[in-house]
Chains A and B, each alone.
Chain A
Amino acid sequence: MALLEVRDLAVRFVRRGEPTVAAVDGVSFDVPAGRTVGLVGESGCGKSVTSLAVMGLLPRDGTEVSGSVVLDGTELLGLSRREWDRRRGSEMSMVFQDPLTSLNPVVPLGIQVSEVMERHRGMSRRVATREAESLLDRVGIPDPRRRLREYSHQLSGGMRQRALIAMALACRPRLLIADEPTTALDVTIQAQILSLLRELVAETGTALVLITHDLGVVAGMCDEVNVLYAGRIVECADRHALFAAPRHPYTAGLLESVPRLDTPRGQRLAPIAGSVEDNIPWSVGCAFSPRCASALPVCSERSPAVETVGPGRLLRCHNPLDTDVGNTESSHD
């Protein structure tokens, strides 16, 4: 049994006078302890809403959540707010894209970090402060004692993200969800933060859900990758298999449309046609069909179901791309 099991998670935003938004539409994935699982997809595909649902952080009003989220054997959906608060912090925590909005601007950093530990690990202020100092040191913040007294606006973007990771780790969570943790950062700082996350997962055995739109980040970080499109997972595979031979036309299209450093220069890019505005509802057919070069007539008439097409490999498509027989499974670890 995996540490986190998400089954048929659906999130709908219902507003009076506005059409209902099916932001997440039947998402299932597993996160085993000590593994890094990626959720990748373009803006609006439901990555953040999925993670907020798992963390119990969605607004209660006007939000319908269904399905199942099981952490270490316990169903989380339907827990009381207090129960959820207790687990968030002690068993699971989250790092957001924009560290500035997730840190309290008027409370010194040290107090913010040590409070988490006082609350969830029952430490005294003195012990918690000492622990906070070693945590900041651990995530690579120089001169941690001085930093503890500073406020978030006095830190650079990279330092803030480190501080946020320190806070998320303060309770030694078994599950860490990082939502675009490096999107707002420069590449050299991104490299620092990613290497920090890699070390932490290796050392602590924390399960990591990494949310990003950057396929390069996924390729270097994740054991398994889930590709989301319009609220549904369309392909799930081990990272080696996925990048060696993507089988969903959307995954393949994404890989072909990004300029990259390791391919010959000067080639014309092969963009995916149209934009997500062209999608059709999943209830009608494949949401991607208006943009898909492999679409068949059936694609706009019947919604494709998820199928298992190999070990740990799932696909939602009527007309998937062929595998190059024999070379995709060879690199499994």
Chain B
Amino acid sequence: MTEPTPSPARRPEAAPPPEHTGDALVELDEVCVHYPIRRGVVFDRTVGWVYAVDGVSLRIERGRTYGLVGESGCGKSTLGKALLRLERPTSGSIRFDGIELSDMSGRRLRRMRRRMQMVFQDTLSSLDPRQSVESLLVEALRAHGLDEGSESTDRLLRELLSAVGLPAGALRGYPHEFSGGQRQRIGIARALAVRPELVVADEPVSALDVSVQAQVLNVLRDLQERFGLTYLVIAHDLAVVRHVADRVGVMYLGVLVEESDSDVLYERPMHPYTRALLSAVPVPDPEVEDRRERILLPGDLPSPAAPPSGCRFHTRCPWSRPGVCDVERPSLRDVGGGHLVACHYAESIERGRSPAESG
């Protein structure tokens, strides 16, 4: 049996224990994805840019889960696609296992893609409804030259299905015959079929009923332990991300505004936007709901085609200080123990003082 790439085989039966050695599988450095806004009847003219992702740096350690949260349009999906090179970054560097992807193309890129897979909100809805689950999975294998003859493929498919908690009989079914939760499991099986090292899951449970969400989240966790997978989980649901992620990044208008280990971020959010976001998440406990303090943000998200000057959050930030926040763009700095915050006044805000008082 030959491996198409020098990566370690991740057969279900040969599952290596997850290693937390702290080496980065993914390293993004100042990644930008800008989409042109085009106008014009005869000649396409570029009249502006959507700064969908505008200078994001982060690293994801092998065997770990990085959670990316933020509101609609902040650039989460675009960043995920750039990482898998489904989108070409305008600038910046994307390294996977030490290999630079940002300028890669053609066969080399296709080979790399086997090692990185994506699970969407409803992966199967985009697929041919007349294709059975078996043929969907075989097709995924074949696309990467991993179909190794009927017997071993057969065994692999069965193992895949059982890993995601579906009966082997599901192979003969068609996507529409399954419930949302089952379809999502099939989508995950399909992503895992090619034995990736990295799985980018973009809103993997947001289309599911709450009772079924938990099943899929548990499946994702079990698979990670079993196959030593590395995850980038993108979601707008902060409770879901808290549950799955070791490290969490909060995006606002194309940039990271805060990043830290999950426990720290949720215990001690320091960026005003993260604080507002967390204070707005409803908690299923009336006693908590009645006495918690809410930070209501005024207004709407600004357009990513015309991001505010200085700190991008200054138009909605209750602590914004004119003359500083609207002029100087705060950099993402370490406030201790790897807790990164992009706010001029993070420390004084945390101490409960307004920036004005802190001088």
Contacts and interface: CB of A to CB of B under 8 A. Distances in A.
Given A216-B283, A259-B242, A276-B179, A271 B296 contact: no
Interface stretch (A52-60, A65-73, A84-92, A182-190): A182-190
B214 A269 contact: yes
A254 B214 CA distance: 10
Contact of A42 (B209, B262, B285, B288): B209
Contact of A275 (B179, B286, B289): B179
A66 B297 CA distance: 45
Nearest to A140: B298
A121 B211 CA distance: 45
Interface in A243-265: 243, 253-255, 257-262, 265
Contacts of A258: 210, 213-214, 239, 284
Given A186-B301, A187-B277, A269-B214, A219 B284 contact: yes
Contacts, number: 137
A271 B282 CA distance: 20
A255 B210 CA distance: 9
Contacts of B9: none
Contact of B285 (A186, A213, A214, A243): A243
B221 interface: yes
A262 B285 contact: yes
B234 to A, nearest CB: 14
A262 B266 CA distance: 10
A81 interface: no
A158 interface: yes
Interface string B231-257: 000001011101100000000000000
By secondary structure, the B interface counts as helix
Contacts of A262: 283, 285, 288
A219 B282 contact: yes
Given A156-B300, A186-B301, A220 B289 contact: yes
Nearest to B73: A186
B218 interface: yes
B280 A190 contact: yes
A142 B315 CA distance: 14
Contacts of B170: none
A187 B210 contact: no
A216 B182 contact: no
B280 A275 contact: no
B238 A191 contact: no
A218 B283 CA distance: 9
Interface residues of B, number: 46
Interface residues of A, number: 47
B212 A271 contact: yes
Contact of B238 (A43, A156, A187, A276): A187
B218 A187 contact: no
A254 B211 contact: yes
B181 A275 contact: yes
Contacts of A316: none
B262 A265 contact: yes
Contacts of B285: 219, 243, 260, 262
A206 to B, nearest CB: 21
A277 B179 contact: yes
Interface in B206-220: 209-215, 217-218
A283 interface: no
Best-buried of A217, A243, A253, A258 by chain B (most CB within 10 Å): A258
Given A187-B238, A188-B71, A259-B242, 4 more contacts: A187-B71, A187-B236, A239-B286, A262-B283
Interface of B: 71-72, 179-182, 209-215, 217-218, 221, 236, 238-240, 242-243, 262-263, 266, 276-290, 294, 296-297, 299-301
Interface of A: 42-43, 142, 156-159, 186-192, 194-195, 213-220, 239-240, 243, 253-255, 257-262, 265-266, 268-272, 275-277, 331
9 contacts: A190-B280, A213-B210, A215-B210, A217-B282, A258-B214, A258-B284, A259-B242, A265-B243, A276-B209
7 nearest CB pairs, A to B: A216-B282, A271-B214, A220-B289, A259-B243, A191-B280, A269-B214, A215-B284
